[in-house]
Amino acid sequence: MLPYYDREKIAAVLDIDALIDAMEQALIAFSTGKVIQPVRMRVVDQEAGGDLCLMPAVTDIFAVKLVGNYPRNHAKGLESHNAIVVVFDRWTGLPRAVLDGTYITQMRTSAVSAMAARRLAAPDAKVLAILGSGAQARGHFETMRRVRDFEEIRVWSRNRDHARAFAEETGARLCASSEEAVRGADVIATTTSAKEPIVKGEWLKPGAHVSAVGWNGLDGRELDDAVMRSVIFVESRDAASQESGNILMSGASIHAELGEVLAGKAPADASDNTVFISVGIATEDAYAADLVLSALEKA
């Protein structure tokens, strides 16, 4: 029988530091053409108010993620994003395992943000602001602290009760507004589904770094035009140009794929105001699944 590994089994073996390093290798491989990654296919169900994406990638393995995004789930007490990752042997096509893709998505997304901050944020960054209070906010709390020695972590969310619970759970400082959280912060992680900007460029200190991972659709955004005049980095030019509301609504130009920077093919200066726009790519899921499956099979 094909093995299925749930969140608890994956969490028990997941090495966060190794995952951050794996995401660096994933983006280098993607930007240097060493992986096969077709464009994701999205099936939209207007009546249900959701969509399902099929995201395949071939690295050392053949992995396919199936992920559903149903925002109405929140009103039902359910997570909006749910996923599985099916892993095949690259050379035979034989299925190896099915993994809980919801947790893999949460952790690889926050690991990519942390990896971006490791390269783009000021080396002496001391203040982290997390906007949002859901699964991605918690993932970013875990990963960002591994790349910088933050002295203060702030949290703000549109849901005050959720933000308070998150602050109490993590020891972060609860902020009354996104402006309070952002002003003076060295690193800002935006993890919301906001349709209107929650970060303004006038609030950013010189040299601030923003990692934006919230899914806001093509007609929504977390960052205003002034923020988007920063130096913009993405995972994939094609994906970000088609799927990021922050880019589409601002008309911002993309400086480079982060993998190009990591491979030494494009410049990046941590003294600039920088923005990393993450829409998620299948190569990240494949590298994360490979790391996790290797650990599970050794356990």
Residue 111 lies in a domain: no
Domain that residue 77 falls in: 4-104+283-298
Task: Specify the CATH number for the domain of residue 224.
Answer: 3.40.50.720
- β-bridge pairing 50-58 and 61-69: antiparallel
pLDDT of residue 33: 97
- β-bridge pairing 81-89 and 95-100: antiparallel
Residue type, position 235, single letter: E
pLDDT of residue 299: 83
Task: Specify the CATH number for the domain of residue 90.
Answer: 3.30.1780.10
Number of domains in the chain: 2
Residues 146 and 240 grouped into a single domain:
yes
Residues 96 and 163 grouped into a single domain:
no
Backbone angles phi, psi at 151, to 5 degrees: -90, -20
Residues 14 and 162 grouped into a single domain:
no
- How crowded is residue 141: how many other Cβ atoms within 10 Å of its Cβ? 22
Residues 228 and 275 grouped into a single domain:
yes
Residue 50 lies in a domain: yes
Residues 185 and 236 grouped into a single domain:
yes
Residues 230 and 276 grouped into a single domain:
yes
With a cut of 90, say whether residue 2 has pLDDT above it. yes
With a cut of 90, say whether residue 71 has pLDDT above it. no
DSSP 107-124: HHHHHHHHHHHHHHS-TT
Residue 21 lies in a domain: yes
Q: 0.85 cut: is pTM over it? A: yes
Whose tokens are 């002496």? That residue is 124
Residues 38 and 161 grouped into a single domain:
no
Residues 37 and 167 grouped into a single domain:
no
Question: In sequence order, which residues have a C-beta less than 8 Å from that of residue 284 and are 6 or more positions away?
Answer: 23, 26, 27, 108, 109, 112, 235
pLDDT tens, 127-142? 999 999 998 999 999 9
Residue 135 lies in a domain: yes
pLDDT of residue 239: 94
pLDDT tens, 74-124? 889 888 889 999 999 999 999 999 999 999 999 999 999 999 999 999 999
Long-range (24+ apart) CB contacts under 8 A made by 165-173 are 165/133, 166/133, 166/137, 166/138, 170/138, 170/141, 172/130, 172/141
Residue 115 lies in a domain: no
